[in-house]
Structure 1
Amino acid sequence: MLSIEWMLLYILLGLFVGFMAGLLGVGGGGILVPLLVSIFSNQGVNADNVVHLALGTTMACTIISSIASIRAHAAQGTVVWKVVYGMTPGIMVGTLLITRIAANVNSAYIAIFFALFMALVAGQMFLNWRPKASRKPAKFRGLFLAGTGIGSVSALAAVGGGFLTVTYLSYQNVEMKKAIGTSSAIGFPIAIAGTVGYMMSGWSQTVSVPYTLGFIYVPAFLIIAIASSIAAPYGVRCSHRLPETHLKKIFAVLSLVLSIKMLFSVV
């Protein structure tokens, strides 16, 4: 399953995803999940597990990228830690619960959900839609429930956490810069819970697949995580020179096309 050709492909994928994440300030899950599905399929992974393995591996890669993102936003003072602490328990519950359930769900249904969610994200990027702030910041119960919902969606769509968190916090009268910074911090517990959840739920189903820990393909995780962390700073530098609005639309189209391709390949 593992050869030098695949390792080189993982390096290129990590460099691309890391650069795009730094350039646009968005997670690379929309690109990473569909491409990993295609790569794993060509490597001979069982079709019943291929989407789960792509999601679990993407979640693991996100752990590394989210740490760098948290440090950058925390240094600028744009992380509302009270919100992070309030949402984290719900995120852990929602993510762990859904990853356990997802292990018994057909890959085709998860692919359909992923593609539909990417269509929603792409539409938001094109329209640059933001909800009108109309409520006071939620208390612990509201943050817990919001975290549970965001964690649940993120378990099935590795791009869901940032998109939903920014939207929710904007609605809760949180300033946009702080909403984005807080969202980056919330990405860490989502990634941790998603990684642990997919590792546990897939433990017995990937015993015959080499180099796996549950639904996490370790070589892809290590190579992509390292490569993306190297490329991300270069993306950040270029972000000040290139038209972000047009690039986000291109990114949205690319993510949507790849998701649809993944959908047809799985179904």
Structure 2
Amino acid sequence: MTPGEPLYILILFLTGAFTGIISGLLGVGGGFIMFPVQYWLLQETGLHPDLAIRIALGTSLFVILLNSISVTLKYQKRRAVLWKQAILMGVFGSVASFGGSAVAAYLPASVLSTIFGIVIILGALRTYKTPAVKERKENISSSKLSYVFAGVLIGFFSGLLGIGGGVIGIPIMLIILRFDMLEAIGTSAAVIMFTSSGGSLGYIIHGWGQPELPPYSLGYINILNWVLLAVPGFLAARKGADIAHIVNPEYLKHLFVFLMVYVGLEMIGII
């Protein structure tokens, strides 16, 4: 298979559309969907696995940047984005994401992926017990240190694993920061704008001038793949956000928990 073949284009186009819907519906970046598909396709074109994995990670993050903008605009119209908190988490998260991309560019991520998978599964179990809609008897957290810690954690894993960070951020926002489900989804999308920006920049810088990069590459970001994923993803993300506002938040929570368990098992290597 070569880039530009009809099957190559179709697979990435459909992957982008599906990722966009999930992104808009649940406030996650969708890198866990785009990454394995790209990784497989790039190897099918003849790229070495070490190079393919870095391009798949970097390109996924760059697609996530556009999707997150689309989702954030939709949730902002519903006043479900807490901007003060999102900016604080996002600023620290973007720096941490840049650092995570540096680790991914030079070190194998297998051990950290396993740790990440375990943490995600534990977070899913805890999220399952957390109400999706909360009575405002207790206010959301006012601890700036909590938001800084959340941003760093979300950002680092975002850059390391080519994900937006929502699968970590939403449980933190629900359990520790005491957001309700729609606030967590909307604010997560806003934070992802920052983390995906920092991580994407890292993949461009660390991949710049590397030998054997495929055509249309900007460091470890492949522009051809980005267009095929980002265009349908951007449009579909808005539809996903519309659906999220008419679906029972408890259903969204259950879908999100299922997604977290799947991602955790995938990162561990069980599936």
Report the TM-score, using the length of structure 2 for normalisation: 0.80
After TM superposition, the structure 1 = structure 2 runs for residues 202-213 of structure 1, keeping only pairs within 5 Å, are 202-206=207-211, 208-213=213-218
Q: Which residue of 1 aligns with 2:166?
A: 162
Write the distance in 1 (CA, Å) between the matches of 2:210 and 2:110.
19
Q: What residue is the counterpart of 1:74 in the other structure?
A: 76
Give the length in aligned residue pairs.
259
Q: CA deviation at 1:255?
A: 4.5
Structure 1 residue 164, shift from structure 2 partner: 2.3
Q: Secondary structure at the match of 1:48?
A: helix
Separation (CA, whole Å) in 2 of partners of 1:237 and 1:142: 30
Of 77, 85, 88 in structure 2, the residue corresponding to residue 86 of structure 1 is 88
1:117 alignment partner in structure 2: 116
Give the direction of change, closer, same or farther, for the CA distance of 1:187–1:135 in structure 2 (3 Å limit): closer
Q: 2:157 aligns with which of 153, 159, 163?
A: 153
* Gap regions ≥5 residues in structure 1: none
Residue identity in the other structure for 2:228: I
Q: Work out whether residues 74 and 241 of structure 2, in 8 Å CA contact, stay in contact via their aligned partners in 1.
A: no
- Aligned CA distance change for structure 1 residues 115 and 220 (closer, same or farther; 3 Å): farther
Distance in 1, Cα, partners of 2:235 & 2:59 = 18
Cα distance change of structure 1 residues 97 and 173 upon mapping to structure 2, 3 Å threshold: same
Give the AA of the match of 1:150: I
Task: For residue 166 of structure 1, report the CA deviation from its aligned partner.
Answer: 2.2
Offset of residue 98 of structure 1: 2.3
Indicate how the Cα distance of structure 1 residues 14 and 187 shifts in structure 2: closer, same or farther if over 3 A, else same.
Answer: same
2:190 equivalent to 1:197:
no
Q: Distance in 2 between matches of 1:26 and 1:88?
A: 14
CA deviation after TM superposition for structure 1 residue 122, in Å: 5.1
| CA 1:218–1:160: 2 relative to 1, 3 Å | closer
1:252 Cα deviation from its structure 2 partner:
5.0
Aligned residues with identical type, % of pairs: 27
Which region of structure 1 is more displaced relative to structure 2, 21-30 or 91-100? Answer: 21-30
Aligned residue runs from structure 1 range 1-267, under 5 A? 1-4=2-5, 5-106=7-108, 110-114=109-113, 116-118=115-117, 120-121=119-120, 124-125=123-124, 128-130=128-130, 136-139=141-144, 141-159=145-163, 161-170=165-174, 171-206=176-211, 208-236=213-241, 240=246, 244=252, 247-248=255-256, 251=259, 255=263, 259=267
Q: Would you say the 8 A contact 2:27–2:188 is kept in 1?
A: no
Give 1:203 deviation, angstroms: 1.0
User: More displaced, 117-126 or 167-176?
Assistant: 117-126
Cα RMSD (Å) of the superposition? Answer: 3.2
Mapped partners of 1:92, 1:39: distance in 2: 28
**Aligned partners of 1:59 and 1:191 also within 8 Å:** yes
Taking structure 1 as the reference length, the TM-score comes to 0.81
**C-alpha separation in 2, matches of 1:237 and 1:176:** 15
SS at match of 2:208: coil
Residue 258 of structure 1: how far off its partner (Å): 5.5
Distance 1:51 1:83, change over 3 A: same
- Choose 213-222 or 26-35, whichever is displaced more: 26-35
